[in-house]
Chains A and B, each alone.
Chain A
Amino acid sequence: EILLTQSPDTLSLSPGERATLSCRASQSVGTSLTWYQQKPGQPPRLLIAAASSRASGVPARFSGSGSETDFTLTISSLEPEDFAVYYCQQRTSWPPSLTFGGGTKVEIK
């Protein structure tokens, strides 16, 4: 099973600051890495697919990068609505595998 390790567990920042979230895979997933945002009481929301492709309606302040085993989600300037938990997810076709990272909570400092 491919394991995804997210760091840090918690990121304490102020609105307007830059957030950098990391996701590391235990083996190469190519660019099959997806990022989600989740707020309390809500399902996750798709942000980034294929490592760097923003989903429809996602603001440009969100960007994704990386390949193989190391990936980054960057929020260029935090807005109040961005304080949430962020998860990465990998999907490989053969053998079929899908796992989520443990999440990074972005909280208001």
Chain B
Amino acid sequence: QVQLDQWGTGLLKPSETLTLTCGVKGDSLPGYWWNWSRQSPGKGLEWIGEINERGSATYNPSLKSRVTMSVDTSKNQFSLKLTSVTAADTAVYYCAKASYLWGTYRGFDPWGQGTLVTVSS
């Protein structure tokens, strides 16, 4: 059974850099796209971006200038960096695995447990 465990700094000051990592257990990185999304308190979900095992990444245009994703295949994990954070970046951040079957997108499954990141001075 695939399990995603995520960790990172939960409290940041404005202008700092958010860094989160997601470790993959029970599966390997090749063959899938590894995603980050976030959910602001009491609000809906926002996709941040995705990356594959070769390091090829696609980002949400609204966040692209501040986002960098990376992979470490030796540790079977992938990471998110978001620079110059503000209070608007306060949210629960989730990692998730995206799969395709015969070219058809099959959704995010599973998801990590979520990490609450608070930006406050």
Binding site for B on A (CB under 8 A): 1, 32, 34, 36, 43-46, 49-50, 53, 55, 87, 89, 91, 96, 98-103
Contact = CB atoms under 8 A, between A and B. Distances in A.
Interface residues of B, number: 23
A44 B47 CA distance: 13
Nearest to A92: B105
B26 interface: no
Contacts of B50: 98
B45 interface: yes
B105 A44 contact: no
B47 A49 contact: no
A55 B109 contact: yes
Nearest to B48: A98
A96 B58 contact: yes
Contacts of A89: 45, 107-108
A55 B97 CA distance: 14
28 contacts: A34-B107, A34-B108, A36-B107, A36-B108, A43-B94, A43-B111, A43-B112, A43-B113, A43-B114, A44-B45, A45-B111, A46-B108, A46-B110, A49-B105, A49-B107, A50-B104, A55-B107, A55-B109, A87-B45, A89-B45, A98-B47, A98-B60, A99-B47, A100-B44, A100-B45, A100-B46, A100-B47, A101-B44
Contact of A44 (B61, B104, B108): B108
B75 interface: no
A34 B111 CA distance: 14
Contacts of A50: 104-106
Contact of B105 (A32, A100, A103): A32
Contact of B44 (A43, A55, A96, A103): A103
B14 to A, nearest CB: 26
A100 B111 CA distance: 15
Contacts of A87: 44-45
